[in-house]
Amino acid sequence: MRRGFILVAVMFIAACVDRGTTMIVPEALGVGTVRDVHVATLRAPSENGWFGRDRAKELSFTTLSVSIPPEREPGEIKAGFADPDPQREFTVAARDDLSSNAAFTNRISAALRQVTPQEREITLFVHGYNNSFLDGVYRMAQLYHDLDLPGVPVHYSWPSAANPLGYTYDRDSVLFARDGLEQVLRDLRNAGARRIILVGHSLGTMLVMETLRQIEIREPGWADRALGGVILISPDLDVDLFETQARRIATLPEPFAIFVNARDRALALSARLNGQGKRLGNLTDPEALAEFPVTLVDVTAFAEGGLQHFTLGNSPVLIQILGQSAELDAAFQRDRAGRSGLLPGTAITVQNATQLILSPQLVLQN
């Protein structure tokens, strides 16, 4: 119990910084590497001009040019808020708001036309619990940059309270935000992408699964037709609930990857709060999901320090492995047993599910 109080205290201290507002620094366009992040949000605008914790009745759209500092370790995010320093911190260098769904779809279409046909992909990132609007934007920019993702990065920002004591509010917001995410997915499909990869983190994975479930009830087979893959990172999701959601989906998109970490302290605390022993994100037994064509990617060996709740994005070694997105894609689609050798690790297959246990030691040997 003491460990739980310590975790809450650490999260509370982190929340003392106002992560909901920042200055726009045009000079940052010439400092670091600039990544444009296209954002759809159901957060209501705040008095400071940014988007806060309150829920909006309609979606808002914007494009933010994020300057990533020139000298940093892969996985490192020093976020600039009140007075950002683009030499050291992620900084918003430009902002361009859009007026409608149609304008948003047209902008994504234009961005797709600027890349080669083979790279006309969209990665849609859905943030997790206790995230401000800017937290999610910076994380999307970091993943897109460090993993060298192809195509166009899009972020769906649902109205999290951005407060470690706002867990109940966040869970309600997840349910509130389902229709908005469905609309965004449909708009993105109309934008002309070769494929869409849907990525959820933490509590955002519940939003991903709930939204896919509700679309499937109306249009069976939609997820498999519309999506080129789903990635759940450290899912703060009840295992029984996930099974119910997955069974309602006619065919799960492939690849369907679930990144798990047995040392995830945030999920351990969530499990206690929810009266459960496990969450999907710290599940390491593929037999529990044997009926589903999913891949459990166990990154426990890469977890170091802190809450260990975003190991995929924070570990430089793991980022090095996953940075070749074509190889990751081939590993999932060509050889579900993991024998392709593209990802160094131990593979265990139980019926339809595969567990891939990644190891830093195996990386060093290759």
- What pLDDT tens digit does each residue of the chain (366 aa) get? 444 433 444 444 344 567 889 999 999 999 989 999 999 999 999 998 999 999 999 999 999 999 999 988 888 888 888 889 999 999 999 999 999 999 999 999 999 999 988 889 999 999 999 999 999 999 999 988 988 888 899 999 999 999 989 999 999 999 999 999 999 999 999 999 988 999 999 999 999 999 999 999 999 999 999 999 999 989 999 999 999 999 999 999 988 989 898 888 888 888 777 777 688 998 888 898 999 999 888 888 876 655 565 666 555 555 555 554 444 554 444 343 433 344 556 777 788 888 888 777 655 444
Residues 146 and 184 in one domain: yes
Range of the domain at 72: 1-192
Contact between residue 242 and residue 212 where contact means Cβ atoms under 8 Å apart: no
Residues 244 and 292 in one domain: yes
Residues 178 and 200 in one domain: no
Residues 135 and 214 in one domain: no
Instruction: For residue 254, give Cα distances in angstroms to 9, 135, 197, 331, 332.
Output: 39, 28, 10, 12, 8
- Give the distance between the most distant pair of CA atoms in the chain: 55
Amino acid at 298: D
Contact between residue 208 and residue 185 where contact means Cβ atoms under 8 Å apart: no
CA pair distance 51, 33, nearest whole angstrom = 24
Tokens of 332: 């999932």
Give the position of tokens 């320090």: 305
- Predicted confidence at residue 178, as pLDDT, reads 98
What is the number of alpha carbons within 13 Å of residue 55 lying toward its C-beta? Answer: 13
Residues 45 and 188 in one domain: yes
Looking at 144, 176, 192, the residue that finishes a domain is 192
Residues 165 and 209 in one domain: no
Which residues make Cβ contacts (< 8 Å) with residue 366, sequence separation at least 6?
Answer: 344
Angle, helices 239-248/204-218, rounded to nearest 10 degrees: 30
Residues 101 and 206 in one domain: no
CA pair distance 79, 73, nearest whole angstrom = 14
Which residues make Cβ contacts (< 8 Å) with residue 58, sequence separation at least 6?
Answer: 42
Residues 118 and 152 in one domain: yes
pTM for this structure?
0.88
Residues 153 and 203 in one domain: no
Residues 173 and 239 in one domain: no
Say whether the peptide bond before residue 255 is cis (omega within 30 degrees of 0).
yes
Residues 204 and 166 in one domain: no
Residues 160 and 241 in one domain: no
The total number of structural domains that make up the chain: 2
How big is the CA angle at 36 (ends 34 and 39), to the nearest 5 degrees? 145
CA pair distance 203, 173, nearest whole angstrom = 10
